[in-house]
Structures are given as C-alpha cells and as structure tokens.
Structure 1
Amino acid sequence: MIEVNGLRKEYGDFVAVENLSFFIGRGEIFGIVGPNGAGKTTTLKMLGGLIRPSKGSITMKGLEMSRDPVRIKSFLGFLPEESPLYEGMSVDDYLMFFAELYDIDKSVARKRISDLLFDLSLNADGKKIGDLSKGMKRKVAIARSLINDPDVLIYDEPASGLDPMTSRYITDYVRSLKKAGKTIVFTAHNLYQVESLCDNILIMKDGREVIQGTADLIREEYGKIQYRLEFRVDSTEEYDLADIKQLNGGYVIVTDDINVVNNTTKWVASRGGDIVEMRTIVPSLEDIFLSIMGIELFVD
C-alpha cells in the first residue's frame, strides 16, 4: 500500500530525515514516535506531498509521489498538528467548501458531511467554527481530512492538547477508521495510545530509525522483564544476593534475574520471614522509549 525507500530530507547543511525505509500494508495503522526534533513531522509532510524529499522514493497504491502527486492526493487525507480553520464559517459551509475543492457532487457531499458529523458526535448547531471548543475544532479538522473519503490518512498528533475524554474519543474514532478499511500513518507523544492502536511502530531519533516493528518485537529487542519482590524479615545483615531497599517497614528488591528471586525467597523462608508480594514487571512501550532515549527509569 505505502512503500518508502531511502527517504532523506535536508535543509542546507541540516539533515532532518536520513535513510528512512518502511512498508505499510492496506488497512494498517503505522505509528511514528520520537522526541521533538526527531523528524516525525518532516516525514509526514513528505508522505503527504507537502514537501519534496531530497532523496528516496514514496509509493502509494502503486503510484510514485514524485510522478503522480495530484493523483495520490486525491485519495489522501492529511491532518497537521496545528490545523488553522476558517473560523468565520459554519461547520457545514466549511466542509462543503472543501468538498467543492475535491469536485464532489453536492448531494454526495451533503450526505457525507451529515455522516461525518454524526460519526464524530459533532453537533455545532449552526455555530461559527470560531465559537467552538478546542476539541470540537479538532473534530472539524478530522472531518475535513475525510471529506474526500480517502484511502490513506496521515495524522500528526490527532489528539494533541485535548482533554482526556476527547482524546480517548478521537483514539477510538481512529480505531474505527481502520475497521472501515483506511490505512493510517500517525504520530503521537502518548505512547499508550500508540501501543494500543498500531500494527507497527517506527521509533525515530535525530532523523533516523532506531527500530521498527510490532510493539512485541520492540519489547523483545529492547525491553527487559524485571521481577519485584517485597518481603519482611528481622535482619538483612547476611543478605548479599542483590541491591535491597527499605519500604513500608519491610524490604524490596527489583532484578532481571529470576534466580535472584528464587534464592531470596529461600533465604527469607530460612530466617522465618514473610513474602509480601512478588510480581513481574513487563516494560511498556513508554518505558522502552524512555530507555532508548537515555532516560533512566526507577521502579518503586
């Protein structure tokens, strides 16, 4: 569906994106994550045909962006992170205006607008866009990106800056778009959202790929399962199996070695102590992301 090979974007001496390659199958959700300045938005703008790559190729539905940008944009929906709207227009007039730009028949456009407003729970009651809340404005921008019924959606931070309820609603709506057969590429800082939505994930740093694949593959490559054991015992003077911390009148160890856990439980039992809790800590995508970025984690 979407194939990217050797993508590079440079601005003078600055290289914003270097040697990116990936494939996205039809009906997949592909997430791109990374810190600010990683090259995420630049990548999306190249995918959307807004800027040209310095090197590399982008192919969608068998068409090359460099040769057929107009045809590709006809089945593309793009949502930037900052999406200025015509705030003096009503929602219906605004969406009809964009439908006309795509040369959509008015009767078809009216039905599509009605369906989009219903699907997005967007009841503007004839208000001007400038009078809407931030969350409702974001829904208008999403409706605009769907007015041409595109096969491919490119969304830059679709739930950015929204309250938790609206953010959750938009996350669920993006999931419903996949069920409707859309192919979606998006960026987000909410790693839980990315992990719950995406079939495949690309982690970027300094314009380059760090790793890409499923959340499970990334977890297998970079994640480290840890074990947390909390126990009580009269004295730990003879304990030398692992680093130990005091907690809630007892003691706790966190280790990635299951043998340390087994030996500690035996040691505690031999001294008449009690095991309070033992649990496995599976790293989240956020934990792995922070680790890749060099941010040390502490498990309480």
Structure 2
Amino acid sequence: MPTLTELNLYPIKSCAGIALREATLTPAGLMVENIYDREWMVVDERGGFMTQRDFPKLALVAPRIKADTLELRAPGMLRLEIPLGLPDPEEEKTLSVRVWDDSVEAYDCDETTAVWFSRFLGTPCRLVRFHANARRAASAKWTGGADAPTLFSDGFPMLVISEASLADLNGKLEAQGRAALPMNRFRPNIVISGIEAFDEDVAESFRIGDAKIKPVKPCARCPMPSVDQSRGEFGPDPLDILRSYRANPRVDGGITFGMNAILLEGEGQVLRVGQEVEMTLAF
C-alpha cells in the first residue's frame, strides 16, 4: 500500500526545511502553526528573489517554529528570532518583490534581520514576508484552469516525489561509483513510498484521507540538486545522469524530477506521516 513517508515545510524560500509529523493542507500548500510553505523569502537590493542557485549557503539557515517566533540559526551567526504575528497590512513597510515573472507586495522585515542575512551571505539583502493582501497563482495552463494560489514557491503550492524515483536515480549513480543522494537535495513537500519509480509522473491524483492532491506539472530541475544541503556548497551534480533519461518534452526538454501539485479537495485536512495513499493513474 502506498504510504506518506515525509512532510516537509520550507518557511523561507531556499533555506533549510522542517521535517514534520503532520501538517495542514491549504490551497497554498502545507501549513503548520499558521506558518505556510515559502511564506518568507530573501531578496536583493532590487527586490529580486535569492536562492541556492547563486547562494548555496542559504541551505545552512535552519528555521524552527517556536511559540510566537521563527527561530533562525546559521553557522557563525547569533540566533535570530522573527515574530510570527502578522503586521498590520495598512501600516507595515512593504516592498514590491519579484519571483520569476511575478511581482507581488511583501512585508519588509526589520533592519536587524536584513543585517543578519547580509552578513551571513556576504551581500546586501533583506528578508520579506508574503503580504496578507497579496495574490499569486500557479499557471492556469498547467492547473487546467483551477485556481491554485501559491506564495513564494517557484510556481506551485506543493512538490511530490516518490521514494522509488530517488532509489532509481541512486542506483544509476552507484553503478558509476558515485555516492547516493538524500531526498533533501530535491526539496519535496510530500514523499510517498510503495509506488513504482516515477509513477508520480503519470498519476491523475493522490487521495490521502479526505484530501485529493493532483500532480499538474513535471518539476524541471535547476542546479539546486547539486547543493549539499548539510554543507551549503555545490557538490556532485546528478543532472548529468538525469539528463540521460529524464529530459521531458512536456517542458521543452527540461530535466524533470518530481511533480508540482495542487489541492483539489480537502482544505483544512491534516496529513500525517504513515497515512495510506490511494493513487489513481491518468490512464
């Protein structure tokens, strides 16, 4: 029986994730303690988003949700705590920030936080939070017209990967004398066991309890899977192996691994690691 084996929340885009035992499903992705996936983001002086693609050290910024703060730790830095309470949207300082082709309003976190990130990354930057009145949606071309909000993700509210897909890749790496990679290189929100490698590519939907999750777009991989998440450095790059068998014509030949997904049913349902998953194939 397919089983839900991992739930991962990434409060800050491109920073370390938080492994969860349970999480609440929302149209905008996973949520826990009223904190949403990719609710915060680091931006440069022009408001452009910053990721591990150019700043792999972001992987070393480790968040932890406390009672009323998001605690951040990073090597060589004092602990930083960010208040979780939402500011007054009419009074708090805001910035217009960019994620790919989208421009949205965001709360500008304080100067202390900006200095903390700037010192750690060695370049001027700021931390911003998705604005309560902002709106950003996944591509209707891929959702089939379904309304799927997302925050600061690359484009979709959830990413689903099967354990078998990673095992398939690792088998090919090990056959060449290369080290196996952990799942965190691919930064999924939901990991499922008990299905065949890349079955997520051809799934019409996954039902978990009363929730229905639909894979909608193959996830084209950038250089981020080459970042060692424990060291914050570029390491062995699996894209050469993936290129040999994972080029996908659906995304103009991009190298894909995992499926971007949206919520069809079950807003407010709580997912728990260990739950059974019912997969319906798209044929």
TM-score normalised to the size of structure 2?
0.26
The structure carrying a bigger strand percent of its residues is 2
The structure carrying a bigger helix percent of its residues is 1
- Bigger relative contact order (CA 8 A; separation at least 6): 2
